[in-house]
Structure 1
Amino acid sequence: MDSTKYILGIFDDPDEMMKGIDSLKEKGVSIYDVFTPMPIHGIENKLGIKESRLPIAAFIFGCIGLTAAFCMLYYMLVYDWPINIGGKPHFTAPNFVPICFEWTVLFSSFGMVFTYFYSNHLFPGRTPRVMDLRATNDRFVIAVNAKTNTQHDQIDSCLKEAGAVEIKHNDRKYVSYE
């Protein structure tokens, strides 16, 4: 049995890598991931990556912060310890606005940081998901899952025709920095 987990097509030029993505898609080969040293415009559409749901998480965290601030203020200033200041009512909504706004922003920002780290697996002790260390410097890498795509020769020739400088059959899941 073949121990190859991933077939890596390593490119020098981002345009050639985009041609490689197109040619692999035309032949019906599913791409596991693409690693680049810089953002490339339009690559999400070619790979079929869905839009992030992080804005929904930000809205939910903001609503939790707003609710927590309003409940805390109402409990402390109206229910638990009402203070008569110049005969004004205990519950005045305009006085609650600044603190509620600040708690909304606070909960959204901290919630988004933790959600981002969780969704991208960026927690302490985690080995980075890098197929080839040159992808963080000056190379562009297309990773194809070799277990689900069994026609390895066809994938190799397709990547070579697209302009791959090197093709590697990777038997490890990820390369560590050590």
Structure 2
Amino acid sequence: MASGNVLHVLYNDDDILMKAVKELRSKHYRIIEVYTPFPVHGLDKAMGLPYTRIAICSFIYGLIGLSVATLMMNFIMIEDWPRNIGGKPSFSYLQNMPAFVPIMFELTVFFAAHLMVITFYMRSKIWPFKKAENPDVRTTDDHFLIEVDAANHDLDELSKFLYDTGATEISLIHNEEHA
């Protein structure tokens, strides 16, 4: 990139934002990032972001939780300290498995949920005490912001195009990070 010029384009409606993203992509402008106050359904597809494999992680974490539950209950209730509780035999895991189903379910959900939170934070690079990267505080309330790469583009023509898409405010930012 020749320069680090970035346009911050504000919108006040999510439908207008979606239309603008589609128009920007059709004209082959590079969208650096989009900031929204709430999740906008379909925005990832409109931006052309690749499909995420995070659901596969959740399934694997659930399987880990199920395995831990199975191994834990087999060791504790069958091998280590077998007891006759309510007339149930204590020498076979399979005979006791119906009583273990709630524990297996709970540990599956527990592992999947907690490990997914950790995975999400690591994938999103959200660390404790990390400085917020939000460029405009209004995007946490009721505005939507698109960061558009302004390098190698006529700023007047690009600004006119963005106002035609429904932008309410455009500001030019010189950002060394994008240089």
Q: TM-score scaled by structure 2?
A: 0.77
After superposition, what is the alpha-carbon deviation per residue over 1:58-99, rounded to whole angstroms, capped at 9, x for unaligned?
211111111112112222333344457769351232243332
Cα offset, 1:3, TM superposition: 4.2
Choose the corresponding residue for 1:161, options 154, 160, 164: 164
Q: How does 1:7-18 map onto structure 2 within 5 Å?
A: 7-18=7-18
- 8 Å Cα contact 1:11-1:17 kept in structure 2: yes
Cα offset, 1:46, TM superposition: 1.3
Cα offset, 1:100, TM superposition: 2.1
Q: What percent identity do the matched residue pairs reach?
A: 33
After superposition, what is the alpha-carbon deviation per residue over 1:126-157, rounded to whole angstroms, capped at 9, x for unaligned?
122212222222322111134xx421424323
Distance 1:13 1:84, change over 3 A: closer
Q: How does 1:1-150 map onto structure 2 within 5 Å?
A: 2-4=3-5, 6-83=6-83, 88=89, 90-93=91-94, 94=97, 95-146=99-150, 149-150=151-152
Aligned to 1:151: 153
Range with bigger deviation, 165-174 or 122-131: 165-174
Unmatched tracts of structure 2, length 5 or more: none
Aligned equivalents of 2:83, 2:36: Cα separation in 1: 61
Aligned equivalents of 2:25, 2:176: Cα separation in 1: 23
Unmatched tracts of structure 1, length 5 or more: none
The secondary structure found in structure 2 opposite 1:9 is strand
Cα offset, 1:117, TM superposition: 2.3
Range with bigger deviation, 29-38 or 71-80: 71-80
